[in-house]
């Protein structure tokens, strides 16, 4: 601990990490590219807020007893196949800066791994038996050199001591196009049929923890969930770093 602190202090002098939110110095390596103050100002879901139990959309202002929380639905997610989706917090401040940095460098700050683990320990995600990252399109993997979802999945699998499965779920087509400005249905259509399960026996009866970096419309994770459930997965729980506005 002391050594880490000494090392952090030396590192701050030798190579100060500027906070990607406020521009100040980042005090500890475990915080990644965001300083302590900016992390404190970042909204982190505690599990106590009222959300759509299925897709995790916040329902501000709605106060209901704990035992009724699993009944809350936003109904916009009714057609989606996953059982539940959760994130550390909204896609803003420290979480947004960390996700953007993470697209450039395959390093996940220990602080984020801890927060992801906290979310994964809550019901119903704590029923997960297997961790699967959303596969990255081959061309994009080649450009970037890594798949963020796979980096998160590997870190979590180690922390949670769950099997990491990077082979069962694959991209089945190279036709996925992302076009800005597409509506919900348009975005859904571009990913429908983009995924396939290569080893159905490995996902049969499993509670899959499906990992991606950001949940926006849920179209991508839902396309993955459809093929996983069609292959016999009992539940698909989605875990992302942040939740964007859909
Ligand atoms: Zn800051
Ligand atoms: Zn919902």
User: Which residues are found with C-beta within 5 Å of the ion, ligand 1?
Assistant: 19, 21-22, 24, 35, 38
Whether the predicted pLDDT of 200 surpasses 60 = yes
Q: What is the mean pLDDT of the chain?
A: 88
Count of C-beta atoms within a 10 Å radius of residue 221? 29
Bridge partners (DSSP) listed for residue 237: 84, 209
Would the pLDDT of 90 be above 70? yes
Distance CA 20, CA 5 (A): 21
Q: pLDDT, tens digit, for every residue of 42-80?
A: 999 999 889 999 999 988 777 788 888 889 999 999 999
Nearest ligand to the CA atom of 35:
1
The whole-number average pLDDT for the span 9-28 is 81
Distance 163 CA to ligand 2 centre (A): 28
| CA of residue 226 to ligand 2 center, whole Å | 17
Q: What are phi and psi of 34, to 5 degrees?
A: -130, 135
**Mean of the pLDDT values across residues 88-96?**
97
Pairing of strands 195-197, 169-171: antiparallel
pLDDT in tens, 95-146: 999 999 998 999 899 999 999 999 999 999 999 999 999 998 777 767 778 8
Q: What single-letter DSSP state applies at residue 25?
A: B
CA 212 – ligand 1 centroid, Å: 25
- Residue 198 pLDDT greater than 80, yes or no: yes
Q: Which of the ligands is closest to the CA of residue 41?
A: 1
How many angstroms separate the alpha carbon of residue 55 from the centre of ligand 2?
4
Nearest listed ligand to the Cα of residue 83: 2
**Residue 83: CB atoms within 10 Å:** 20
Ligand 1 centroid, distance to 22 Cα (angstroms): 4
In the block, tokens 């699967």 appear at 132
**C-alpha 98 to ligand 2 mean position (Å):** 25
DSSP state of 116: H
Q: Which two tokens stand for residue 77?
A: 């997610």
How much distance in Å is there from the Cα of 54 to the middle of ligand 2?
5
What is the pLDDT, as a whole number, of residue 182? Answer: 55
- Ion ligand 2 — residues with CB under 5 Å? 52, 54-55, 57, 74, 77
């Amino acid at each position: 601990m002391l050594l880490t602190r000494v090392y952090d202090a030396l590192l701050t002098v030798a190579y100060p990490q500027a906070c990607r939110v406020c521009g100040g110095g980042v005090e500890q390596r475990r915080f990644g590219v965001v300083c302590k103050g900016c992390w404190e100002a970042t909204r982190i879901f505690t599990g106590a807020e009222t959300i759509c139990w299925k897709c995790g959309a916040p329902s501000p202002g709605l106060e209901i007893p704990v035992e009724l929380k699993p009944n809350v639905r936003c109904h916009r997610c009714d057609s989606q196949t996953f059982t539940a989706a959760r994130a550390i917090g909204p896609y803003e401040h420290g979480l947004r800066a960390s996700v953007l940095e993470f697209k450039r460098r395959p390093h996940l700050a220990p602080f984020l791994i801890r927060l992801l683990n906290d979310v994964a320990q809550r019901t119903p995600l704590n029923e997960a038996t297997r961790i699967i990252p959303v596969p990255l399109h081959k061309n994009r993997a080649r450009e970037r050199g890594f798949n963020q979802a796979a980096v998160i999945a590997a870190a979590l699998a180690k922390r949670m001591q769950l099997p990491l499965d990077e082979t069962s779920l694959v991209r089945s087509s190279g036709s996925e196009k992302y076009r800005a400005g597409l509506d919900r249905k348009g975005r859904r259509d571009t990913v429908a049929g983009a995924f396939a399960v290569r080893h159905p026996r490995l996902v049969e009866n499993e509670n899959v923890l499906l990992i991606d970096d950001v949940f926006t419309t849920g179209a991508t994770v839902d396309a993955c969930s459809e093929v996983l459930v069609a292959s016999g997965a009992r539940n698909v729980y989605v875990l992302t770093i942040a939740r964007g506005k859909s």
